[in-house]
């Protein structure tokens, strides 16, 4: 085997190793909406809002619609929306909260974390700030194994639920899947280093208080 071929093989292993790690670690904890288990809390990960900065774009709408269905079906009681409150496309948690209320979720059962700046931070803050130790987590299927793996590694016993994505172009989903493949390397580094979330906050009883509503 030539030196160039060896370098190529090593490169593929370095890139693919973290992605395989997320798939293996999440095995058995990834579900469709129809067969999702139950948990008191469902975490919804943020992403871009629509151009008007008031409505969720298609991927985010699908995540929220899936979470609302889980609440309606009695498989979750409280929704923790975790995203970037100062994101480039707009205030993700505010838009997420508003849309959930439109979908019929009691606003008293929605908790917003404006400092879920990436998947790792959302998982870390769910545990450290909001005291979540068991939850469902909702995002699109291409992202789900990475989200499940990171949360479980940070002490949150999560099961992932694949989000709806009506209106999402196939090309966009393919692009995001490729991006997530490479993002697995950062996920592995974050998990290995145990870095703290970018924003540290005191303990917030909001999730506990929402659960106390019954």
Domains and CATH numbers, the chain: 26-196 (3.40.50.620)
CB under 8 Å to 6, separation ≥6 — which residues? none
For the entire predicted model, the pTM comes to: 0.92
Task: With cut-offs at 50, 70 and 90, classify the pLDDT of residue 15.
Answer: low
The rounded distance, in Å, linking the Cα atoms of 87 and 46 is 10
Task: With cut-offs at 50, 70 and 90, classify the pLDDT of residue 167.
Answer: confident
CB burial class (10 A; 0-12, 13-18, 19+) of residue 86? exposed
The rounded distance, in Å, linking the Cα atoms of 8 and 65 is 42
Residue whose entry in the numeric block shows the structure tokens 């923790």: 80
Task: Give the pLDDT confidence score for residue 7 in this predicted structure.
Answer: 43
Kindly report, residue by residue over 96-112, the tens digit of the pLDDT. Answer: 999 999 999 999 999 99
Kindly report, residue by residue over 58-87, the tens digit of the pLDDT. Answer: 999 999 999 999 999 999 999 999 999 998
- Going across the sheet that includes 78-82, the strands are 30-31, 157-162, 134-139, 41-45, 78-82, 110-113
Judge contact between 143 and 180, C-beta under 8 A.
Answer: yes
Task: With cut-offs at 50, 70 and 90, classify the pLDDT of residue 214.
Answer: confident
């Amino acid at each position: 085997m030539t030196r160039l071929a060896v370098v190529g093989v090593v490169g593929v292993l370095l890139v693919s190793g973290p992605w395989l790690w997320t798939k293996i670690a999440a095995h058995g904890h990834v579900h469709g909406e129809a067969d999702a288990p139950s948990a008191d809390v469902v975490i919804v990960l943020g992403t871009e809002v629509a151009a008007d900065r008031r409505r969720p774009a298609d991927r985010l709408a699908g995540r929220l619609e899936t979470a609302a269905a889980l609440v309606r079906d009695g498989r979750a009681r409280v929704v923790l929306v975790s995203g970037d409150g100062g994101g480039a496309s707009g205030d993700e948690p505010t838009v997420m909260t508003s849309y959930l209320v439109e979908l019929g979720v009691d606003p008293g059962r929605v908790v917003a974390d404006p400092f879920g700046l990436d998947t790792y931070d959302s998982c870390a803050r769910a545990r450290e700030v909001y005291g979540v130790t068991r939850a469902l987590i909702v995002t699109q299927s291409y992202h789900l194994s990475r989200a499940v793996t990171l949360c479980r590694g940070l002490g949150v016993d999560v099961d992932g639920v694949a989000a709806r994505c009506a209106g999402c172009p196939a090309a966009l989903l393919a692009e995001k899947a490729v991006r997530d493949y490479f993002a697995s390397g950062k996920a592995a580094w974050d998990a290995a280093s145990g870095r703290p979330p970018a924003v540290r906050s005191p303990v917030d009883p909001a999730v506990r208080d929402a659960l106390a509503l019954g």
